[in-house]
Structure 1
Amino acid sequence: MNKWLAAAVMALILATAPAQAEAPATKIRFTLDWKIQGLHAWFYWAKAKGYFRAENLDVSIDQGEGAAATVTRILSGAYDAGFGDINAIIQNAATRPAEAPIMVYMIYSKAPFALLTKASGPLKSLKDLPGTKIGAPAGAAALRLLPVLAKNNQIDYASLTITQVAPNLQEQILLQGQVDSVAVFSATSYMNLVSLKLDPDKDFRWFFYADHGIDLYSNGVMVSPKLAHEKPEVVKGLLRAINRAIRETINDPQAAIDLLATEEPLLKKDIELRRLLYVWGSLIDTPEAQRLGIGDVDDVRLRSSIDIISASFELPRQPEASQVFDRSFLPPKADRPVPAINH
């Protein structure tokens, strides 16, 4: 009898072992904030190198329509996670706290939002903004935050004429004089101007929101509350893969851009390499990131950001910081140092 029992147990083990080893990967629908650019290289690196698969994740990556639109995409249930703007989370958490995405890994510790205008144009300072025309894509975070910029600088927002434009036409309509300025994501527009053989520093003026009283965080990895609550280990695995890919991308940015070009054949590798380096140096490698490690935020600064957004948008309630950002999914700080870029 003991022999039969032992044989039965062994048969059960052999029967179940393959099933356990071949457990289906968790599917993650991931949306970017924009069209594929050099600053997205680490997401595709993680996928191509098998880091998502190593975490038993099947991650599909789609292009986006704006950093703020990432939030609405996740809210709709169409996506489980994405790369987008924390300020849009704050706005939605005020009215739909149970449904709003949660930021779990901050990447841009400095906000890239700016108004771009021609150096030869009439806008010399923000005081010249009332009564002017501003262009921006509908889902762009810089447009969503424009009322904040106006209110904090005593500008009548109602006096501004907003023209919605296609993402790929922002700089062109400014150059053609159809608008006086465009509300942009600096990393995108800076390199778009370079690709047009223009000098972004000499030929244009940049009014950065951060230089005009709005010290905000910006883009990072966010997930749906459903994913965070029901599958926390999946979120941790997603961040481990992305965190590893960021470090390796920065260690060999040219290789990362070469790989990205296999995903988007029309990508201009020289432009996107320069964009990646620009974004790293201007938005990611900050003193705060050096202190806290990539992915984390300063709690005092986060609460200040929530105060700014809540007051400026006259939100019905002010979200708690825990409803906006959750660091519990982060890899250990020792695994998140800011690497020196290799170029």
Structure 2
Amino acid sequence: MRPRLSRRTAVAALVALASFAALVPTREAAAQAVTPIKFVLDWKLQGIHAWYYLAEDKGYFAEEKLAVTIDQGEGSAATVTKVMAGAYQAGFGDVNAIVQNAAAKPGQAPVMVYVLYNRAPYALIVKSSSPVNTPKDLEGRTLGTPAGGAAARMFPVIAAKAGIDAGKVKWTNVAPNLQEQLLLKDHVDGAAVFSVTSYMNLVAQGVDPDKDIRWFHYGDYGVELYGNGVMVSQQLVKDKPEAVAGLVRAVNKAVRDTIANPDAAIAALMKREPLLNKDLEKRRLMYTLKTVMLTPEVATQGLGDVSDARFARAFLQLKAAFDLQRVPTAAEVFDRRFLPPLAERRILAK
């Protein structure tokens, strides 16, 4: 025969059970604890986006209670306008486009929270057989660019540094997937490109980009601009600062994992787009790491951060090139409060 509980014991048990139930979140409450984030890339899926999908597969977003939806983009400058419009809460895009928008529309532009491209991957390219041997030789010639392309948008900066009369350069919009092809077929004299994209596009077309193409990298002509990184809306910073910090932590982990094991990152990318050329995208990823990400500056200050002095000089270059009405403060453009500790971001330059 089971012993009967006393009334006092029974009441105490019910109180304890109710208290425990109050501490256990309901399914609805648990769902509400997850922050949804719509995230837009700078372009179509490529090896340079692999770390975002690796973060997803490894559960880094979930660990931070984030539900991140990743969409393809239409240009690194276009990312800024998409986040400004409220269509996305975060994205991967161009910090220099943030500067321009912050100058014109204070308080509305997104904020960069994690810089990935320590060296802006902007370049002008011509065929090696071209009579264009210096950037100034582009005067009187036609350059192709996709609509929203950041390299073309930033052309006035290299023009000012390299002595090009920008008014003497003609432009034509081209389909993104035809940019290199039109150059190779002489439909344009040159192109303003993202080196990390164009380099491998040329390889895919059977061209040796080191021998068959002449490159004018903006950074080689005194252009001190940074490039792409993770940006978030000001509303997300205001309403969900913990989500911003979590997003940055997750991306930082995935970038470090990608550097340590590129094959795993490319495998995560291929799960989303099996029709990509796996070997080409891995080569694109490695080229990006080598040329614009793992720089001596990153070896010193870690992934994600900027040099304040260089940042200030870059702002002045943008002001001169675009005749900005005002130079935004660094805090309007970049917020390092969300960066993980240096020990978690340090990567030796290769």
Would you call these one fold, judging by a TM-score over 0.5? yes
The equivalent residue for 1:106 is 115
Between Structure 1 and Structure 2, how many residues are aligned? Answer: 341
- Give, as a single letter, the amino acid of the residue that structure 2 aligns with 1:205: R
Alignment of 1:155-304 (within 5 A): 155-304=164-313
What is the CA–CA distance in structure 1 between the aligned matches of 2:332 and 2:268, rounded to whole Å? Answer: 36
Alignment of 1:110-125 (within 5 A): 110-125=119-134
SS at match of 1:79: coil
Of 6, 17, 21, which residue of structure 1 is paired with 2:24? 17
Of 310, 314, 317, which residue of structure 2 is paired with 1:305? 314
What is the CA–CA distance in structure 2 between the aligned matches of 1:2 and 1:105, rounded to whole Å? Answer: 58
What is the CA–CA distance in structure 2 between the aligned matches of 1:91 and 1:32, rounded to whole Å? Answer: 19
The equivalent residue for 1:335 is 344
The equivalent residue for 2:62 is 53
Contact 2:295 2:349 survives alignment (8 Å)? no
What is the CA–CA distance in structure 1 between the aligned matches of 2:134 and 2:348, rounded to whole Å? Answer: 36
SS at match of 2:143: strand
The equivalent residue for 2:331 is 322
What is the CA–CA distance in structure 2 between the aligned matches of 1:311 and 1:321, rounded to whole Å? Answer: 17
| CA offsets 1:268-294 (integer angstroms, 9 cap, x no match) | 000001111110011111000000010
Q: TM-score, normalised by structure 2?
A: 0.93
Compared CA separation, residues 287 and 7, structure 1 to 2 (3 A): same
The Cα of 1:230 is off from its aligned counterpart by: 1.5
Q: Percent identity?
A: 53
Bigger radius of gyration? 2
> Which residues of structure 2 form unaligned runs of 5+?
1-6
| CA offsets 1:146-168 (integer angstroms, 9 cap, x no match) | 12222333322222211011111
Contact 1:106 1:294 survives alignment (8 Å)? yes
Q: Which moved more, 1:90-99 or 1:149-158?
A: 149-158
What is the CA–CA distance in structure 2 between the aligned matches of 1:25 and 1:131, rounded to whole Å? Answer: 55
| CA offsets 1:22-64 (integer angstroms, 9 cap, x no match) | 5441110001111111111000101122110111100000111
- Give, as a single letter, the amino acid of the residue that structure 2 aligns with 1:18: P
Q: Which moved more, 1:151-160 or 1:60-69?
A: 151-160
Contact 1:42 1:245 survives alignment (8 Å)? yes
Compared CA separation, residues 17 and 170, structure 1 to 2 (3 A): same
- Give, as a single letter, the amino acid of the residue that structure 2 aligns with 1:105: Y
- Give, as a single letter, the amino acid of the residue that structure 1 aligns with 2:96: N
What is the CA–CA distance in structure 2 between the aligned matches of 1:325 and 1:319, rounded to whole Å? Answer: 10
Q: Which moved more, 1:191-200 or 1:12-21?
A: 12-21
What is the CA–CA distance in structure 2 between the aligned matches of 1:241 and 1:55, rounded to whole Å? Answer: 7
SS at match of 1:222: strand
What is the CA–CA distance in structure 2 between the aligned matches of 1:255 and 1:340, rounded to whole Å? Answer: 21
What is the CA–CA distance in structure 1 between the aligned matches of 2:141 and 2:98, rounded to whole Å? Answer: 29
SS at match of 1:68: helix
SS at match of 2:76: coil
Contact 1:137 1:165 survives alignment (8 Å)? yes
Contact 2:296 2:349 survives alignment (8 Å)? no
What is the CA–CA distance in structure 1 between the aligned matches of 2:296 and 2:97, rounded to whole Å? Answer: 24
What is the CA–CA distance in structure 2 between the aligned matches of 1:126 and 1:107, rounded to whole Å? Answer: 27
The Cα of 1:240 is off from its aligned counterpart by: 0.8
SS at match of 2:52: helix
- Give, as a single letter, the amino acid of the residue that structure 1 aligns with 2:21: L
- Give, as a single letter, the amino acid of the residue that structure 2 aligns with 1:26: T
What is the CA–CA distance in structure 1 between the aligned matches of 2:329 and 2:268, rounded to whole Å? Answer: 40
| CA offsets 1:186-232 (integer angstroms, 9 cap, x no match) | 01111111111111011110011111121110011110011112111
The Cα of 1:145 is off from its aligned counterpart by: 0.4
> Which residues of structure 1 form unaligned runs of 5+?
none
The equivalent residue for 2:4 is none
The equivalent residue for 2:3 is none
SS at match of 1:124: coil
What is the CA–CA distance in structure 1 between the aligned matches of 2:349 and 2:122, rounded to whole Å? Answer: 25
